[in-house]
């Protein structure tokens, strides 16, 4: 059964600090992995998409990594800002048309 | 490309009524997922439709139902609304190679 597990469930950090969110998956055969940021009450917005051949991809202060061998991905946030407070969701898709598995998300709170 | 669109944006219903939520996927996407998200809580999987058929269902009572139309758009119906059904309902569409895309959600308030 395809599963996506995210950790930690929630995280509180001080403004300016770095943090790393984790996503482990068992989805197979793997097609791609997306990280989303969801502000409270809004729809999730895609931050980055990782395919099998990509190890690292950056989007501003967000850097995603993918280890397809261990089936792990991480989202690293550098120099956090108050606006980074949100839920971060990992979604992994397999090569079967349309099949995606969603993680439960990590809630990040950045405090001044 | 146009994104996933959901309607209405907000919906206010009275307890016991029925609510219908709509989702139009990105053109070419055959899969539609529905999620419920109560305020401050994680996404709760509701339903997955692909090619017009229900492929999987979350742990929700039968009064939560839906369908997918030939053009791949989808409806989520909630019958006999209860106060705890108040939540943000998110729709996502996907197609292999591109992953899933979310809509902005429908905020359902049951009073």
Q: Do A43 and B102 touch (CB under 8 A)?
A: yes
The residues near A54 (Cβ < 8 Å, ≥ 6 apart) are: A66
Q: Do B104 and A43 touch (CB under 8 A)?
A: yes
Nearest Cα of chain B lies from the Cα of A111 at a distance, in angstroms, of: 17
pLDDT tens-place string over residues B5-51: 999 999 999 999 999 999 999 998 888 999 999 887 888 999 999 88
* Tokens 């990105």 -> residue: B26
Q: Is B33 on the interface with A (CB under 8 A)?
A: yes
pLDDT tens-place string over residues B73-82: 999 999 999 9
For every residue of B37-71, DSSP letters joined together read E-TTS--EEEEEEETTEEEEE-S--TTEEEEE-TT
Chosen for mutation from B8, B42, B46, B56 (greatest number of chain A CBs closer than 10 Å) is B42
In chain B, which residues have their Cβ closer than 8 Å to the Cβ of A102? 33, 35, 43, 45, 92, 100
In chain B, which residues have their Cβ closer than 8 Å to the Cβ of A97? 30-31, 50, 95-96
CA distance B102 to A47: 12
Q: Is B65 on the interface with A (CB under 8 A)?
A: no
Cis peptide before B52 (omega within 30 of 0): no
* Tokens 């049951």 -> residue: B110
pLDDT over threshold 90, residue B97: no
Query: Stretch B96-103: mean pLDDT, rounded?
Result: 78
Tell me B25's DSSP state: P
CB neighbours of residue B52 within 10 Å: 13
Helix, coil or strand: residue A18: coil
pLDDT over threshold 70, residue A96: no
pLDDT tens-place string over residues B40-91: 788 899 999 988 999 889 999 999 999 999 999 999 999 999 999 999 999 9
**Which of the given ranges, A42-51, B40-49, B100-109, has the highest pLDDT on average?**
B100-109
In chain B, which residues have their Cβ closer than 8 Å to the Cβ of A93? 94, 96-100
**What does each C-alpha distance from B53 to A84, B25, B66, B74, B90 come to in angstroms?**
38, 15, 10, 11, 19
């Amino acid at each position: 059964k395809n599963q996506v597990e995210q950790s930690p469930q929630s995280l509180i950090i001080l403004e300016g600090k770095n943090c790393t969110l984790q996503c482990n998956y068992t989805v197979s055969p793997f097609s791609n992995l997306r990280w989303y940021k969801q502000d409270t009450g809004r729809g999730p917005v895609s931050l980055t998409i990782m395919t099998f051949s990509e190890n690292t991809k950056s989007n501003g202060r967000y850097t995603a990594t993918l280890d397809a061998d261990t089936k792990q991905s991480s989202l690293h946030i550098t120099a956090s800002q108050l606006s980074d407070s949100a839920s971060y969701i990992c979604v992994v898709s397999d090569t079967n048309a349309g099949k995606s598995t969603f993680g439960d998300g990590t809630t990040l709170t950045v405090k001044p | 490309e146009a994104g996933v669109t959901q309607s209405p944006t907000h919906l206010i219903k009275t307890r016991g009524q029925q609510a219908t939520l709509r989702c139009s996927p990105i053109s070419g996407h055959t899969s539609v997922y529905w999620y419920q998200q109560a305020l401050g809580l994680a996404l709760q999987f509701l339903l997955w439709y692909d090619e017009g058929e229900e492929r999987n269902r979350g742990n929700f009572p039968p009064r939560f139902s839906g369908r997918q139309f030939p053009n791949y758009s989808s409806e989520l119906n909630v019958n006999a609304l209860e106060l705890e059904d108040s939540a943000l309902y998110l729709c996502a569409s996907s197609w292999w190679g591109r992953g899933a895309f979310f809509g902005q959600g429908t905020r359902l308030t049951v009073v």
